[in-house]
Every structure is written in C-alpha cells, then in structure tokens.
C-alpha cells in the first residue's frame, strides 16, 4: 500500500503488514526516517516488526527497507584507497576468532580490509571485546583515522561509527527485547545495511550453522545467505556467502584474551587446524572478490607477513603487540568420566559456560572479563582416559564456576566407537 500525502499513518502501515499487504517504497523510507527522528514510537515499530516476523517482506520490500536503513546515516567513501577493498562478516559462533587473523592476512596479500565489527552478546563472542584485552588498543576511530590506517597498514578492525546506519542501531535494540530477532529479512537488512554503508567493494559472509550458531538448520542458513548475497549485489557490492559448521567450538579457545592468544598462534604459522582451514577458505574468497590473482594466503601465514601486518594494525590503534595477554585467577578442569572417544562437545553449551564465567554479556552495557573463558584440551575424535582433562574453565570469579559447570551438563559425550568427522565448510552461496 501507499499512504497519500506527506503525513503517513503508522497504524495503517502496521495493519497493512498485519494483513499481508505490501508496503510501498515511499512508506518504508518515510517510516524508518521518522523512527530515527523519534516521530514513530517504539511500541508502534515493535508491532510492525512482529508483523514482519510473522508475514515476512517481499524482495522489493526488503530492498527498500535495507536502502532506507543505509540512507538513515552516512556512508564511508573508500574509493580513494590505492588497494581494492573487501570485507568479511560472520553471523557469530563460539571460538570464532577468524576476523583477528583474516583481516591482516588478506591485507598482507594486497587488499584493503575495513573490518567494522561489534561486541558479543550472549554466548557468541565479539571481535572488539577480544581485541580490547590487548593493553592500550582502542576500538573507536574517526572516519579519517580509518581511511589513513587502511592506506598505511592495509586493514583496520574497529567499531562502526554512530552515524553508520543509525536506524539499525535502534531497530536491533528493539528486536532484542520484542522477540523479533529471528526474522530472516530483518537479520539480512541489519547485517547488510551496515556493510553496504561501510563502502567496501566486496564482501564475504561466513554464515555459521549448527548448535552454537544463530542458524541451527542448514536450509534456513542457506535462505539467510541467499537473501544477504542478493542484497549486496543489488547495492553494487560483490558478495558471496560460505556456510561453515558450528556444532563444535572453532579452535581450542572461547574467551577474549584466550582467543587473541590462539589467533597469534595461527599468525605464527601454527594454531588449530580447523581455525586455519576456515581462515584460508574465507581468505581465498575475499581475494577472488578483490580481483587479486596469484596470492597465496597460506604462504603469508608461514612467512610472517600476516603477523607483521597484525602487529602494525594493533600498534596503529594504540595497542601494545608485545604485551603479554592477561591470565585468569582461577582455572578449573572438567575431566572425562569414562574412557573412549569424544563424539560430542556442544558449542552452545561451551559458549554459555564461557558467558557465565564472565566472557560474555547479557545486555549490551554489561562489562566483560578479558581473561574468562573455556580452553578445550580435547575435541571430537580425540581418545580420552578416565580423569583426563577435556575442558579448562578460566575466570576471575570462582563463584561463577558452578553455574558454568551446570551449563556443561550433557555437553560432552564419550563413546566407544570411532568418530566420523564432518566437513567444516558446508556450502558456498552465490545467489
């Protein structure tokens, strides 16, 4: 529907979407602009979001909704950079420290990587929280600082400015408290509005699938991936999505300083094979989108090039790349109750345990602990003896350990038969 005149009736728009009638492009543009300016009340937008959750948005409506979110604020102009630009976004998981490695790695191969990242909420960790465990490192940069660092270093990982898609900031907070987070169109618009406004020419989406991911089901993950790929390409951003498994934590560390330390292992040419595999798969996709041929990201890990870019990036943002990572005051081991082969180590349960130990937050304003988290001493496929450590719980508050242990009840399964490994990279979505 389209409401005539300059003043639109929000209730009519709510009723239209409630009754499965399409919203006009002008109505959507007016609505989001008015909401950012405070002319549409939260309770009215909440009702509309619930109607969208239940009845969806058509491709045309979603394109208009995303465009309006982008136009609600400023856009970064990266056209003056001397290197091609490409970025990556992950939908979030447990132990997903790939961004810390990937940005300097792809920069070492010749691209400029503007990684505007976020903080963790619930059981999934946030890239900014991880990097803030490095003494002196700062997440907030001006647009000029971002551009200067991209030109001089090749990559930046920082917080998105308050004027980048401000409609998303308001809508995300509202969705979080109104039970409307799960809408695929709203998820896609939230992610893509920020990434398109960021100004990058290419974007690789890492859509996590499984117990520890937002998307538990492969088909819904494919639907989200396809929706985001189409939005990116409709707005002139070369976009591809990779579906990766998140039934088991990625790597051996879940927690802020713990994950930085593991990232340094990978940048040193070592590190857990699963982290290396996912990182190299995403790096290859990014380099292809950037049009960089002949680069060998595995070689850039092995020869120290990626580590040098990482150190420059940390130093450019005020951090000390030589500072030792902080360590937890209390460590508690979770041991095997029987001998056999680990078949299950549930990513969601590990993520909740890390959150309860202090690594995550329940609300955006909550503080997080740099040292809290979970270290994996064994993973599915490993044989263990009775009493052998499987997990280590790290915390500054030992009173949090019983609650973390409660989250892990049933998380580990040890059986007698051999373990059949499943692929990490599940699919590639181009349209």
Active site amino acids: 89, 168, 175, 190, 194
| Nearest alpha-carbon partner for 27 in 55, 60, 54, 53 | 60
CA distance 428 to 297: 19
**Integer Cα distance of 276 and 301 in angstroms:** 9
Q: How far is the C-alpha of 88 from the C-alpha of 107, rounded, in Å? A: 12
C-beta separation of 263 from 157 below 8 A: no
* Residue 340 CB contacts under 8 Å (≥ 6 apart), including other chains: 383, 384, 414, 415, 416
CA distance 100 to 278: 13
Between CA 59 and CA 57 the distance in angstroms is: 7
Using only C-alpha atoms, the chain has a radius of gyration, in whole angstroms, of 22
CA-CA distances (angstroms) from residue 271 to 95, 98, 163, 223, 411? 13, 12, 37, 32, 24
Spatial distance between the Cα atoms of 63 and 78, rounded to a whole number of angstroms? 23
Dihedral sign, Cα of residue 64, residue 66, residue 70, residue 72: positive
Q: What does DSSP say about strands 340-345 and 238-245: parallel, antiparallel, or unpaired?
A: unpaired
Residue pair 209/426 in contact by the 8 Å Cβ criterion: yes
Identify whether the C-beta of residue 350 lies closer than 8 Å to the C-beta of residue 254: yes
For residue 335, the SS3 value is strand
CA distance 401 to 418: 32
| Beta carbons of 204 and 111 less than 8 angstroms apart | no
């Amino acid at each position: 529907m389209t409401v005539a005149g300059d003043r639109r009736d929000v209730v009519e728009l709510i009723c239209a979407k409630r009754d499965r009638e399409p919203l006009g492009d002008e109505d959507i543009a007016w609505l989001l602009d008015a909401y950012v300016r405070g002319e549409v009340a939260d309770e009215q937008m909440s009702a509309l979001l619930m109607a969208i959750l239940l009845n969806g948005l058509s491709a045309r409506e979603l394109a208009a909704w995303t465009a309006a979110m982008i136009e609600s604020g400023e856009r970064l102009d990266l056209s003056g950079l001397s290197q091609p630009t490409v970025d990556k976004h992950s939908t979030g998981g447990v132990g997903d420290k790939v961004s810390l490695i990937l940005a300097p790695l792809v920069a070492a191969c010749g691209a400029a990587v503007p990684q505007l990242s976020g903080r963790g909420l619930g059981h999934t960790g946030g890239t900014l929280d991880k990097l803030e465990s490095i003494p002196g490192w700062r997440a907030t940069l001006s647009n000029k600082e971002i551009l200067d660092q991209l030109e001089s270093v090749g990559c930046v990982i920082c917080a998105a400015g308050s004027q980048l898609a401000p409609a998303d900031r308001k809508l995300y907070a509202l969705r979080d408290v109104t039970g409307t987070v799960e809408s695929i169109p709203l998820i896609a618009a939230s992610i893509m509005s920020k990434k398109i406004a960021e100004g990058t020419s290419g974007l690789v989406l890492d859509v996590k699938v499984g117990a520890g991911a937002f998307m538990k089901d492969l088909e819904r993950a494919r639907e989200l991936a396809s929706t985001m790929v189409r939005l990116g390409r409709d707005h002139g951003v070369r976009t591809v999505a990779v579906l990766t498994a998140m039934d088991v934590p990625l790597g051996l560390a879940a927690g802020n300083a713990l994950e930085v330390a593991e990232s340094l292992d990978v940048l040193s040419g070592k590190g857990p094979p699963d982290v290396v595999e996912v990182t190299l798969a995403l790096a290859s996709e990014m380099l292809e989108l950037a049009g960089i041929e002949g680069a060998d990201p595995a070689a850039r890990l092995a020869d120290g090039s990626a580590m040098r870019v990482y150190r420059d990036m940390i130093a450019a943002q005020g951090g000390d790349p030589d500072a030792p990572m902080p360590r937890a005051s209390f460590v508690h081991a979770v041991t095997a109750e029987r001998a056999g082969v680990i078949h299950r180590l549930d990513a969601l349960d590990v993520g909740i345990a890390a959150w309860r130990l202090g690594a995550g937050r329940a609300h955006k304003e909550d503080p997080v602990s740099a040292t809290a988290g979970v270290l994996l001493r064994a993973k599915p496929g490993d044989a263990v003896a009775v009493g052998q450590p499987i997990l280590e719980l790290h915390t500054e508050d030992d009173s949090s350990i019983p609650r973390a242990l409660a989250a892990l009840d049933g998380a580990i399964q040890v059986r007698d038969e051999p373990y059949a490994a499943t692929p990490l990279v599940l699919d590639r979505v181009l349209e």
